[in-house]
Amino acid sequence: MELAQLNIAKAKGMMDEPLMKEFVDNLESVNAMAESSEGFVWRLKDESGDATAIQAFDDPLQLVNMSVWHSPDALKGFMYMTHHISFMKRKKEWFEKLSEANYVLWWIPKGHIPSIEEGKARLEYLREHGESVYAFSFKSRFEPTDLNTIKTA
C-alpha cells in the first residue's frame, strides 16, 4: 500500500497577479524537491509541470494538489525537513484560511494513481464523518493493516 494525499487552498489572487508571483516563481523548485525526495511516488501535474491550472472546483482560485508517497513519514519528511517548510510558514501571504479540513490522506494499492474526484470524495468524507482509515489527517496514525476494519457510508 501507498499513501495518497490531496490538499486544497484558496489563493488570494490569480496565478498571474503580482501577489502570487513569489509563490509561482518557486513552484518548479519545490516540485522538483518533492520528486527527488525519498519515498515520493507521483504527483498531479499538467503539461506545465504543476497543478495550478487544473480546474478541480468551480472557483478558479481554489487550487488542488495531489501526490502519492510510500509512507506518512516520507510525506512528512518532504513537508517539514526540506525547503518546503519555509513556504508552508508563509502560506498566509498567498492563501485564504479555510474553515474546513483542507487536506486528506488515504491508503491506496501500490501502483494506483488516484483521480481528483477520488481525492475530493475522501476530503468530503473526512469533513462529514471525521478521522477514519478511509480518510484521515496527520492527527491520526492509521496503517494499511487497519483497512480490514473500514466502514464507509
pLDDT in tens, 24-44: 999 999 999 999 999 999 999
The pLDDT-based confidence of 129 (bands split at 50, 70, 90) is very high
Nearest to 4 by CA among 29, 55, 41, 35: 41
pLDDT (0 to 100) of residue 23: 95
Share of the chain above pLDDT 90, in %: 84
pLDDT reading at 63 higher than 90: yes
Alpha-carbon gap, residue 99 to 151, rounded angstroms: 26
pTM of structure:
0.91
pLDDT reading at 149 higher than 90: no
Range of the domain at 25: 2-149
8 Å CB contact between 2 and 27? no
pLDDT (0 to 100) of residue 151: 56
Q: Give the pairing type, strands 40-43 and 62-69.
A: antiparallel
pLDDT (0 to 100) of residue 148: 72
The domain total for the chain is 1
CATH number reported for the structural domain that contains residue 83 in this entry: 3.30.70.100
